């Protein structure tokens, strides 16, 4: 389990103001990150030199570090013809090798370099990767294929760098893989009992626990249009 690359970046504005086509319009995001060649400090709320534009939905203690598998990029290129996509394209901080959603669980705790990080929740994709790669349904594809990536909270701050290996320290909830979480969150069949079970997992990010509990109580599917399509349509 290897940290193949490290990426960081600050918000950037791109596009054309008042363009007729929604996908061409001006927008601001921190999805445009650059590789970090040297050791970087990983703090409680993220990497040194990294930032978020939409701080309501990104960043914070439970979303300090976004991780994504390098293996997924071949899939996006070959299966969906997104030819200009490459590692770092999803806005991740950690590009991972030999770590995927079916192998990583909520609460998994790893030593990486000097830092200790813990898996907190899957990423729920928004419309911004779609805008970046001019593929309107990309967020929906990310969600439905389960190739979402996930977030780490930081238990111990420290320096990390590309080439560091992940050493598993603890796996308290092997049953709650990121893949399983995605199935519960986004599956065609809404299993409200499973939602309640997952909501009871104390190491799942509190906001996601609340969301699952509310959905289970109301027994209704969420409206995802604004999140996955947003201003792209």
Confidence check: pLDDT of 169 > 90: yes
Confidence check: pLDDT of 59 > 90: no
Confidence check: pLDDT of 106 > 90: yes
Q: Could you tell me which residue, 157 or 222, shows the higher pLDDT?
A: 157
- How far apart, in whole angstroms, are the C-alpha atoms of residue 126 and residue 225? 10
pLDDT of residue 27: 95
Confidence check: pLDDT of 55 > 80: no
Task: Count Cα atoms within 13 angstroms, Cβ side, for 226.
Answer: 3
Report all structural domains of the chain as residue ranges with CATH numbers, in order of start. Answer: 2-174 (2.40.33.20)
Distances (CA, A) of 87 to 60, 146, 173, 179: 23, 17, 29, 21
The CA-based angle 169-171-177, given to 5 degrees, is 135
pLDDT of residue 48: 96
Confidence check: pLDDT of 37 > 80: yes
- How far apart, in whole angstroms, are the C-alpha atoms of residue 33 and residue 15? 17
Q: What is the mean pLDDT of residues 124-133?
A: 95
pLDDT of residue 188: 79
Q: What is the mean pLDDT of residues 199-204?
A: 98
In percent, the amount of the chain with pLDDT more than 70 equals: 99
**What is the band of 227 on the pLDDT scale with cuts at 50, 70, 90?**
very high
Per-residue pLDDT tens over the stretch 2-26: 999 999 999 999 999 999 999 999 9
- How far apart, in whole angstroms, are the C-alpha atoms of residue 202 and residue 213? 13
Confidence check: pLDDT of 54 > 90: no
């Amino acid at each position: 389990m290897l940290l193949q690359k490290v990426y960081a970046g600050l918000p950037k504005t791109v596009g054309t103001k008042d363009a007729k086509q929604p996908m061409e319009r001006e927008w601001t995001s921190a999805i445009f990150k650059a590789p970090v060649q040297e050791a970087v400090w990983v703090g409680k709320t993220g990497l040194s030199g990294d930032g978020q534009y939409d701080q309501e939905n990104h960043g914070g203690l439970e979303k300090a570090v976004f991780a994504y598998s390098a293996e997924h990029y071949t899939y996006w290129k070959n299966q969906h013809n997104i030819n200009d996509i490459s590692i770092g394209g999803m806005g991740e901080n950690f590009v991972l090798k030999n770590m995927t959603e079916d192998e990583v669980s909520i609460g998994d705790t790893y030593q990486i370099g000097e830092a200790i990080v813990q898996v907190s929740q899957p990423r729920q994709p928004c419309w911004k990767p779609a805008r970046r790669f001019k593929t309107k349904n990309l967020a929906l594809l990310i969600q439905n294929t389960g190739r979402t990536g996930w977030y780490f909270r930081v238990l111990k701050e420290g320096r990390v760098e590309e080439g560091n290996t992940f050493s598993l320290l603890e796996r308290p909830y092997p049953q709650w893989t990121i893949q399983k979480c995605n199935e519960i969150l986004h599956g065609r069949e809404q299993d409200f009992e499973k939602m309640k079970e997952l909501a009871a997992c104390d190491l799942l990010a509190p906001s996601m626990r609340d969301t699952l509990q509310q959905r289970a109580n109301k027994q209704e599917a969420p409206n995802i249009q604004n999140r996955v399509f947003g201003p792209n349509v």
